[in-house]
Structure 1
């Protein structure tokens, strides 16, 4: 006689189905937003492409804005979790890791197209710009602020304004790696060239924010 599935097994199955449906919705939503734009995409279209009922979709994402927010969050999610920052003490190694993580996210397939949607639709849907800022670059700015503050306290860098320094560092990387990609659809940069941009940005930051002699003695 086949044993009855346990409560834990049932819970695991239902959780897996729930996650699979959510993934299908995000995949369908991403495809439609990129193909049709934000304004011309409806939740009904997303449900149809995802193969779920509209009730299921509305239960998870009651508005189109909520769905877009989830997609933006997914795009900006680091595979090597941003939850940990390099320990202070070796700013060259720390900034290299942070810079490469940022560069890899900016060049993720579809990221430039997502930005184009935000730029095109932000006059009518200003919340899209806020999402992209709050859920994306702002995460790196906040983390980098904390990292720079830690290096400053350790005496390995002299950074009296961590917010300004964070913007400078990320800006140097995005200017060479991302903005040409956003504006020129045929722009491409291989990984060695991308990492070279990061390395030069790191060297620039180290030269600008090296500790003053009086602070190192």
Structure 2
């Protein structure tokens, strides 16, 4: 099989995967997790049941994939290099705000919250496959800054939680609870900047950015 043919089949498989995930998200929101069957998802997405089962053997596998994809960052960016806590946290904060601003993120949390009493495993998937990997990337960055001497942090888990919480508590959680809640791009940028300044003021070893370079 030539490389061109292989690439073609990979592209088709990816397109079908995206179709399935889009249909699944819509149906989960419309009918709930329990009432959404794989057969119904196959019909809505326009693929055969065999194709769907090949991609996702179970509904739980499909939901896990939806969580993982929703939390994935564009192009899977690498963490910023240590050396300046303000620059690094600004990059991470902007990425996090963009991630939380995606429409599918709000949809995903609504599914989990609605189905939590009957399917607690959905919350576990949301945490272990979604939020936790992103949290670990922020935690790893702060550890690298700590090892570089840019910051002094005794509890890195707490510091990462504080930083992410300052952003999500304003730009994301109210969207689930307050009808019509919207945050402008300018306001999001301000929220991220303030979270960065607060974290840097608390943990930076020297100066506002604790830069280790001239």
Kept in 1, the 8 Å contact 2:71–2:134? The answer is no
Stretches of structure 1 that go unaligned for 5 or more consecutive residues are: 1-5
Partner in structure 2 of residue 147 of structure 1: 141
Partner in structure 2 of residue 194 of structure 1: 188
Superimposed CA distance per residue, residues 150-185 of structure 1 (whole angstroms, 9 cap, x where no aligned partner)? 111111111111111001111111111111011123
Kept in 2, the 8 Å contact 1:113–1:182? The answer is no
| Bigger relative contact order, structure 1 or 2 (CA pairs below 8 A, ≥6 apart) | 2
Superimposed CA distance per residue, residues 118-175 of structure 1 (whole angstroms, 9 cap, x where no aligned partner)? 0111221111101111122211221111111111111111111111100111111111
Q: CA deviation at 1:12?
A: 2.7
Larger radius of gyration: 1
Q: What pairs with 1:173-212 in structure 2 (closer than 5 Å)?
A: 173-211=167-205
Residues paired across the two proteins, number: 208
Q: Partners of 2:204 and 2:12 in 1: how far apart?
A: 53
Provide TM-score, normalisation by structure 2: 0.91
Partner in structure 2 of residue 63 of structure 1: 58
Provide TM-score, normalisation by structure 1: 0.90
Partner in structure 2 of residue 29 of structure 1: 24
Q: What pairs with 1:152-163 in structure 2 (closer than 5 Å)?
A: 152-163=146-157
Q: CA deviation at 1:210?
A: 2.6
Q: Which runs of 4+ in 1 moved over 6 A?
A: none
3-state DSSP of counterpart to 1:110: helix
Q: CA deviation at 1:207?
A: 1.1
Stretches of structure 2 that go unaligned for 5 or more consecutive residues are: none
Kept in 2, the 8 Å contact 1:106–1:174? The answer is yes
Q: Partners of 1:120 and 1:132 in 2: how far apart?
A: 13
Change (3 A) 1:78 1:206: same
Q: CA deviation at 1:49?
A: 0.9
